[in-house]
Structure 1
Amino acid sequence: MKLNLLLLSFFWVGMGTALCQNIKARQQKLETQRVRLKNEIKQINELLFSNKNTRKNIIVEVENLQVKLNVREELIKVTNAQVNLLTRKININERNISSHRKELKFLKEDYAKMIKNSYASKSFQNRLMFLFSSEDFFQAYKRIQYLKQYTQYRRKQGIIIGEKTQLLQQLNNVLIQERQKQVILINENKEVQEKLKKERISQQSLIISLKQKERNLSLQISKKEKLARTIDKEIDRLIREAIAASNRSDVGGGGKEFFKLTPEAKLISANFEANRGRLPWPLEKGVVVQGFGRQKHPVVKTTTIQSNGVTIATTPSSNVRAVFEGEVMSVLTFKGSNPSVLIRHGNYITVYKNLGELYVKKGDKVKSKQVIGEVFTNQQTGKTEVQFSIFNNIKVLNPSGWIYQM
């Protein structure tokens, strides 16, 4: 019965150790996410909410609040996942402690019996009697060996009990630390939830004030979307023209929707692709305020918008940087909008929209992180934003999969 109990204890301890290692890896990943999200909220506050004296457009305030709400919600999810993992780890450690206690109890009982038996025959005379009562020399030798092994085993059991006791103390200390960390995370999450609640109330009050103007807002958004689609069509036209021009040359291979690449362009293209997920941001400091793809407008929920890239908010007079080496394919100036720069990297193209100042021209060779212009700041809305896109030939890609930690 005691042997089965001991084997069961070993089984639970082994299982618990494997699970704890798996949980530890997931905990480290979640902690990295939590730190990143907290830093992102800090950056959002610095970039979007630091200048309270500047009166912003109500729509901009609602949009900025939505950006912060999205990150706070993600932070709450990540912290909840951390708390749940810690709860699982605490439960596993409690089971391990229980198993170790049972095992220690068994070892102590076994050790107590040994001491008791040893005490009964501890005298020198008793040991001599045990040896001299042997029938022959071989039996006497075997009894001497037994006495030595018994003494060694007893000492070993004493050492094991000491080690188990120390291990048990360490597990208890870890358990205390994990419970303290769990309390800290729960309290932190409560604070974030309170802030989220207040910000939602603030956003709702702003939205209510805009309700009467919803029709007018929808028209403004539609007008803005129409201009964005016109610019996107012009960018598509410029890319197709560049592809057609490359296919008129005699070098390499290609097609109607693919660049015909020179050996040098192939190398740049391969290097660009090899740096997927590691490309630098087009700004030294910024936060994504609008993601990629089709999405509901943050203010007028009945209106859907399409984004062929990401919109990054930053501070006024910020420099825009090339994310990789390449050649300026085109500089697009369009009526009713600010200049855009298209940089070609083999069969990849990066687009930088809404520049206030230009430092490059068509045909210029650029290096990674080279400043190509300055972001435009809208004096009416207070927005300082750049729209950034990536294309593979004519196919638009999600920049978040290419830019480091976007």
Structure 2
Amino acid sequence: MKFFKILFFLIGVFIAVNAHAQSSDELKRRRDKYNEELQKLNQEYEETANNKKSSLKQLNLLKAQINLREEKISNINSQVRLLDNQISESTNTVHSLQSQLDQLRKEYAAMILFAYRNQSSYNKLMFIFAAKDFNQSYKRLKYLQQFGAYRERQAQYIEGTEQDLHVKINELDNTKKQKSTLLVDQVKEKETLGKQRKDQVQVVADLSRQQGQLKDQQRDLQRKITRTNQEINAAIRREIEEQRRKAEAAAKAAAAASAAAGIPVNKNVTVSKKTITKSSTTSEVLNATPEAARLSNDFLGNKGSLPWPVTNGVVVQGFGIFVVEGIKSENNGIDIKTNENAPVRAVFEGKVAAINNVYGTYIVIIIHGEYFTVYSNLKSVSVSQGQKVSTKQNIGVAAMESASGIPKVNFQLWKGSTPVNPKIWLVPD
């Protein structure tokens, strides 16, 4: 029983260490990506700032850097917490190994003293021949042999424990150095973040003085956002009503078939093992068929691990309400700055429900059972309405946003007729 307890403990330690290593590696990978993206954004911003004239592009680049820097600071905080746990665990291990080493040395010292007092061959022989009989003599002889072997093993244990202790102390020192480096980086990032927030205020002020340029650009952007949201809302409502119409038509056909067969007609007709009525919810309608229900479950099962709609990008405007120059706007998704002419891809398998053109750029809406994904501000599209698409299939190309001069894609995710924050559904960047 004791053996199994030790075994389970060691397995638990192994799993914890492995999980810690994966978590630490993932945080480092993200921090490296943040550094790479910040470097690119800073280069673009410097090129824009050299024009000596504030622009909406400057403002958007600043916002992108601020958002990314805040995420990096959060990442550093997570790494510091992880290192604090590692330091605590390593410190406990060092104390434990030190205690073991002290105990082993005491026991070894006692053995050496005993061996010294009984080092003569005469004493050993007297110890053996003083036995009552042959069996006892044999046992005493084996005891002396085992005692010598045990003493050698104890010496090896001491040496091994000293080596383990040395390794752990080095690991602890390295971890403390990593933490110190991270804290220095954190202070630097917070200082830069504060400076960029001041720069953002200055850019807004400069733009405001340029005969309302920012307001004009923001109003144009707001008009496009409003029109885009209207088109998306209408397209999703049409798709839901179309699914309801199909379900009701199937219900009528089933009722007619039942009547022809002499079966009493029931207002609640089961279609594909789901009962569809006039009062059925949007969720029930969109999951009316087994295929749609499977797709919904698969989509939900991938929450937090969906691929990004572009291979390279950074979020420049998050989900929800935001205000620029006193003009309030609402983002039903996230704006992702990407590369010019970057391919845009479907984040999950589904069917193209609608393709619309708003002020010269395209919107693609894909249905995944109960869920919809929306990709707007596309320069061109490579799919057609009603076409089935697979995960990561290219559906179009990102367009340059006219107001900011930045290649950008707006990505939305709807559950039925309600928009939800899509970022928590995507794989962590």
Q: TM-score, normalization: structure 1? A: 0.79
Could you tell me how far 1:404 is from its partner in structure 2? 2.8
* SS of residue paired to 1:333: strand
Q: What secondary structure is seen at the aligned counterpart in 2 of 1:362?
A: coil
- 1:26–1:66 CA distance, 2 compared to 1 (3 A): farther
Quote the Cα distance in structure 1 between the aligned partners of 2:43 and 2:153.
Answer: 66
Distance in 1 between residues matched to 2:16 and 2:308, nearest whole Å: 33
Superposed, 1:336-375 pairs within 5 Å as: 336=359, 338-375=361-398
What is residue 32 of structure 1 aligned with on the other side?
A: 26
- Percent identity over the alignment is 31
Query: How far, CA to CA, are the matches of 1:367 and 1:22 in structure 2?
Result: 36
The offset of 1:39, in angstroms, is 0.9
User: Which of 174, 178, 183 does residue 177 from structure 1 map onto?
Assistant: 174
Matched, 1:321 2:345: yes
Range with bigger deviation, 313-322 or 81-90: 81-90
Provide the aligned C-alpha RMSD in A: 3.6
2:317 is the alignment partner of 1:286: no
Secondary structure at the aligned position of 2:412 is classed as strand
Q: Is the 8 A contact 1:27 1:82 kept in 2?
A: no
CA contact (8 A) 2:287 2:296 kept: no
User: Is the CA contact (8 Å cut-off) linking 1:280 and 1:403 kept in structure 2?
Assistant: yes
When residues 79 and 277 of structure 1 are mapped into structure 2, their CA distance, relative to the original with a 3 A threshold, is closer
CA distance in 2, matches of 1:213, 1:20: 62
- Contact 1:47–1:314, Cα closer than 8 Å, also in 2: no
1:317–1:171: structure 2 CA closer, same or farther, 3 Å change rule? closer
Are residues 1:70 and 2:73 paired?
no
Match of 1:348, as an amino acid?
Y
Distance 1:246 1:284, change over 3 A: same
What are the superposed Cα offsets for residues 174-224 of structure 1, whole Å, 9 maximum, x if unpaired? Answer: 223323333433343344344434433433432343465798856764664
Q: Residues of 2 paired with 1:191 and 1:347: CA distance?
A: 45
Unaligned runs of 5+ in 2: 1-8, 251-270
Is the deviation greater in 122-131 or in 187-196?
187-196
Q: 1:30 to 1:202 in 2, by over 3 A?
A: farther
In structure 2, C-alpha distance between the alignment counterparts of 1:93 and 1:358, rounded to whole Å: 55
5 Å-filtered alignment, 1:222-261, equals 224-225=221-222, 227-249=224-246, 250-251=249-250, 252=271, 254=276, 255=280, 257=282, 258-259=285-286, 261=288
What do residues 303-342 of structure 1 show as CA deviations (whole Å, max 9, x unaligned)?
54321111111222223333334333222234x5633222
Name the count of aligned residue pairs: 387
Return closer, same or farther for 1:26/1:19 CA change in 2, 3 Å cut-off. same
AA matched with 2:426 = I
Unmatched runs of 5 consecutive residues or more in structure 1: 1-14
- Cα deviation, 1:74-132, whole Å, max 9, x if unaligned, reads 32233234234434433543443344334323322332232222222211122222333
- Residue 12 of structure 1 corresponds to none
- Distance, in Å, in 2 between the alignment partners of 1:358 and 1:203 is 35
Q: Distance in 1 between matches of 2:168 and 2:76?
A: 24
Q: CA deviation at 1:364?
A: 3.6
Q: Does 2:329 match 1:305?
A: yes
Distance 2:17 2:135 in 1: 57
Gap change, CA 1:213 and 1:108, over 3 Å in 2: same
Secondary structure of the structure 1 residue equivalent to 2:310: coil
| Equivalent of 2:304 in 251, 274, 277 | 277
TM-score computed with the length of structure 2 as normaliser:
0.75
Letter aligned with residue 33 of structure 2: N
Say if 2:37 is the partner of 1:43.
yes
Partner of 1:288, secondary structure, is strand
Q: Given the alignment of the two structures, is residue 399 of structure 1 paired with residue 422 of structure 2, yes or no?
A: yes
One-letter amino acid of the structure 1 residue matched with residue 356 of structure 2: L
Task: Report the residue type matching 2:394 in the other structure.
Answer: V
Q: Secondary structure in 2 aligned to 1:377?
A: strand
